[in-house]
Amino acid sequence: MKNSLPLPLIFAAIFAVHTCCTAGTPDSAPKSPSASGGTGSSAPSDRVVAKLNHGLRLFDAAVASGTISAFEEYQKKLTAFTDSAKGTPREAITQDEVARFLMLWLGLWNSGDTAQQASLYAPDFAWLSYAASKGFVLQSKDQIFADRENYVKGGASILVDVSELEILQEGGLTSISFIQNYQRGMYRTKGSKSLRLRRGGPAGLLIVFEEFNLPK
């Protein structure tokens, strides 16, 4: 179609829409012309522009690495979930709830109890990671926990800790972003991680989406 947007802009826009809005912050709050000193212009904020540019960088990385299908599939899942939540009243998840959930998540990771770990993840959970050597990798809950069970059965001890914690409210989801230090035997890795949560499950919250080490 002659009037359709280029694919990079479409997926960058999707990423920007689903990651730009932090609940309760000045960036996301509507501003009147008198409060802002302006004329009510609808020009995008610096935060939205930055997220749009980030989405373009992710798209370029996906194309360059030959893993565009994984990137596109993840964005479709994220878009479908967020669209389904529109107009549905949701009780806000408090910081105390997030803190308790994160401590539970860390404790189960370090205990090696994969069955209890799995109870913290939604059935339709999707995990997206990036590595320069592999590009984007998209995995389901079953795929992730098959790998984890193999590690545990092999006798590998796993140690995880986090730092630089940030909590965001965006598109009907609460997100926890942090730097993760991961150690399994002699293998070690460090990178940025984001867990997107919704209410549900035996712990009261479920991880619906997880992103690890995406390009900045």
Per-residue HEC secondary structure of 8-25 comes to: HHHHHHHHHHHHCCCCCC
pLDDT tens for residues 158-194? Answer: 889 999 999 987 656 788 999 999 998 888 989 999 9
pTM (two decimals): 0.73
Least reliable range by pLDDT among 4-8, 58-62, 121-125, 211-215: 4-8
pLDDT tens for residues 89-127? Answer: 677 788 899 999 999 999 998 888 889 999 999 999 999
The yes-or-no verdict on residue 27 having pLDDT over 50 is no
Structure tokens at 66: 């030959």
CA distances from 61 to 52, 72, 74, 151, 192 (A): 14, 12, 15, 30, 17
CA 62 to chain centre: 17
HSE on the CB side for 16, CA within 13 Å? 21
pLDDT tens for residues 144-159? Answer: 999 888 887 877 788 8
Q: Which domains does the chain have, with CATH numbers?
A: 7-85 (no CATH), 95-212 (3.10.450.50)
